[in-house]
Amino acid sequence: MPDLSGYRFTSTHEWVRRDGDEATVGITDHAQAELGDVIFLDLPAVGARLEAGARFGAVESVKAASDLYAPVSGTVTAVNEALREAPERVNQSPYGDGWLLRVSGAAEGSVELMDEGAYLARLEE
């Protein structure tokens, strides 16, 4: 298990890892397990604006299409291009190689961000 102490989680199963003004966004291990094999991702382009709590894309899996919600606001500075050819990275490494986006000017909005313990407890409910 990777060290997730720097990760914060949403009730809609995204994660965000802050690094100062920058942040990386992905989906949780629970989400990828529930979705099953990821077939492709609909992600915004570099330069797009994320609003905390707003839909920013979708993940299409063997099971269903699921919307993605931004854990923080910010401007997209990078999209994980490797996922175009290898979407299975989201399944294999949701907290590492399977990251989705990087954003700058990351700012928290009204979205509740939980630490790992609180997120796992939420899953138990």
Partner 1 sequence: MVEFAGFEMPLRYSSVREEHLAVRGRAGLFDLSHMGEVRLTGPGAEAAVQLLVANDVSRLAPGAALYGVMCNEAGGIIDDVVVYREEDGFLVVVNAARRAADVEWMRAHLPPDARLRDESDGTALLAVQGPEATATVRGLTALPLDGVRPFHSAPAEVAGIACRLSRTGYTGEDGWELYCAAGRAPELWDALLEAGSSRGLVPCGLGARDTLRLEAGLRLYGQDMDETVDPFSCGLGWTVKLGKGDFLGAARLRRLDPDNPPRRFVGLALGERDIPRHGMAVLSGGARVGEVTSGGFSFSLGHGIATAYVATDLDPEAPLSVDIRGREAPAARAPLPFVRRALH
> Which residues here bind partner 1, judged by CB under 8 A?
36-37, 39-40, 42, 60, 62-65, 88, 91
Triad 52, 10, 75: Cα angle to 5°: 30
Closest CA to 76 of 108, 43, 104: 104
CB atoms within 10 A of CB 107: 13
Work out how close the CB of 40 gets to partner 1 at its nearest, in angstroms, rounded to a whole number: 5
Q: How far is the CB of 66 from partner 1 (least distance, A)?
A: 11
Interatomic CA distance for residues 9 and 113, integer angstroms: 5
Q: Which is nearer to partner 1, 64 or 123 (CB)?
A: 64
Which is nearer to partner 1, 1 or 62 (by Cβ)? 62
Close Cβ partners of 65 (under 8 Å, ≥ 6 residues apart)? 58, 59
Cα–Cα dist 2/55, whole Å: 27
Residue 40 or 120 with smaller CB distance to partner 1: 40
Q: Which is nearer to partner 1, 32 or 73 (CB)?
A: 32
